[in-house]
Structure 1
Amino acid sequence: MIIRVETMTQRLIQAFISWGKTNMKLSFIIIAQTIEKAAQQVAFANNQLLFIFESEGLRITDIVTRRLMGLPVKSRKQERMAVQSQVMLKKSVLAEESPTGRGVQFIREGQMQDFSKGGAQISLTQGTVRLKDFISLMYRNRHGQWVSVESQVRWVVSAANGDQIIGVQFLAVSA
């Protein structure tokens, strides 16, 4: 079953899971613009559900077709690891201007949710980051050293309260 919703809530996901239990062959492909943080954890852990961000755009058709044909829908080159780490975002040296305006340094705190060699998922409270923004992501590595990674925002999901979940691709690393 393919479903399109504006905002995916944990309550809605639980309803789909319960409905799916009544019919073992029922699975769901959910296309949404935003997803609550709690709902995201449930959705990604359940193989009955395939969650697709609306920001995937033209790739949605390919992803849905692959799922319906029983083919893998993973598109990542590197596996992501779940992490919980504080991060700082600031204007990238690659950016001509800050996401918050010319001449502004742009410091924003966030929480890294997952991490791979090629990118990360970050949640921001009251975010102001846009698709394709260049940002410098600073975090502590497993040895406690601060690492700065020049990154580009590849996708953005905004919640009604102004929070954002963003996906970034790493461009250059400096320790």
Structure 2
Amino acid sequence: MQKSLREQRTVLSLVSSKTLSHFETVFRGCLLRQCHSLEGLKLQLAQNQKVVVLAEFDYCTSRHVKAFMSLKGRMRLIVIAKSIDVSVYQKYARHPDLLLIPKSDILQAFFLTSKFFDGDPVYMRSAVRQETSAPALVKSTNWVSQDSIRQRKGRFMDFAKQGARLYLPERMFGLKEFVSVLYQLENQEWVTVECQLRWEVATPDGGQIMGVQFLAIA
């Protein structure tokens, strides 16, 4: 059996220790080196053939990505940024050696990077997220029986055109599970959105943060 990419790679980090902490598990088995400058990065690239470069920006543009991708050596690039210009998605969304992680998605670092390392396609979402703390009711979807339906009150953390991020005080739902999310609009009208869980993580207080993809609105 071949070794996984993460076991074969050297990781060159240009990020803060706080950001790096989100990748500790997925980088287990890699040789991790902290670079403190671009010159130090170039030196490490010259010494290592297979590397993953971890870079962090407040605002990432296509010019930033182009500069890194043009560096000599066989490398894959993971970018973490507070804001990512739409031109980056337009030019590089399907690039096999690039992973874009908005800071708002940092809790998904393990899930996204694992898929990236394993060669699976990673969906890079460019839709703008809007922060909100509106209450919501999340219910399991059971097309056969109403007896085993689970539900829990929680709240939105943010939402975009195609999905949302929610918090529940209890970990109840699993990956790829179908759920109904009920919430109230400003005009007091109640809306039900059929969704599927695309990712989820446990929180220190025993709760759950989950990302859902919108499927249909009722």
- Contact between 1:80 and 1:116, CA under 8 Å: does it hold in 2? yes
Tell me, yes or no, if the aligned pair for 1:55 and 1:156 is still in contact at 8 Å: no
Distance 1:105 1:157, change over 3 A: same
1:54 aligns with 2:110: yes
Q: Which residue of 2 aligns with 1:83?
A: 132
Which of 16, 19, 24 is the aligned partner of 1:5? 24
Matched AA of 1:58: K
Residue 127 of structure 1 aligns with which residue?
Answer: 171
For the structure 1 residues 44 and 111, does the alpha-carbon distance in structure 2 shift closer, same or farther, using more than 3 Å as the test?
Answer: farther
Cα offset for 1:141?
A: 1.8
1:28 Cα offset (Å): 5.8
**TM score, norm. by length of structure 2:** 0.49
> Aligned to 1:143, what secondary structure does the other structure show?
coil
The whole-number CA distance in structure 2 between the counterparts of 1:96 and 1:53 is 35
1:144 pairs with 2:201 = no
Change in CA separation of 1:159 and 1:138 when aligned onto 2, cut-off 3 Å: same
Cα distance change, pair 74–170 in 1 and its aligned pair in 2 (3 A): closer
Deviation at 1:74, TM superposition (A): 8.5
Higher Rg:
2
CA shift for structure 1 position 111 = 1.1
1:100-135: per-residue Cα shift (whole Å, max 9, x none)? xx8322110111011112110001111211001100
Identity of aligned residues (%): 27
Q: Distance in 2 between matches of 1:135 and 1:74?
A: 21
**Deviation digits for residues 30-84 of structure 1, max 9, x if unmatched?**
9xxxxxxxxxxxx97589x95352122313578xxxxxxxxxx991152211111
1:83 maps to amino acid: T
Q: Secondary structure at the match of 2:24?
A: strand
In 1, the alpha carbon distance for the partners of 2:197 and 2:207 equals 15
Q: What TM-score do you get using the length of structure 1 for normalisation?
A: 0.60
* Equivalent residue number for residue 198 of structure 2: 154
Change (3 A) 1:142 1:162: same
Q: What is the SS of the residue equivalent to 1:129?
A: coil
- Bigger RCO (CA 8 Å, 6+ sep): 1
Q: Residue 70 of structure 1 corresponds to which residue in structure 2?
A: none
Equivalent pairs, count: 133
Unaligned runs of 5+ in 1: 7-22, 31-42, 63-72
Aligned pairs for 1:9-88 within 5 A: 45=82, 51=106, 52-56=108-112, 57-59=114-116, 75-88=124-137
Instruction: Compute the RMSD of aligned alpha carbons.
Output: 3.6
CA gap of 1:147–1:44, structure 2 versus 1, over 3 A, is farther
Unmatched 5+ residue regions in structure 2? 1-12, 26-35, 42-52, 57-79, 85-101
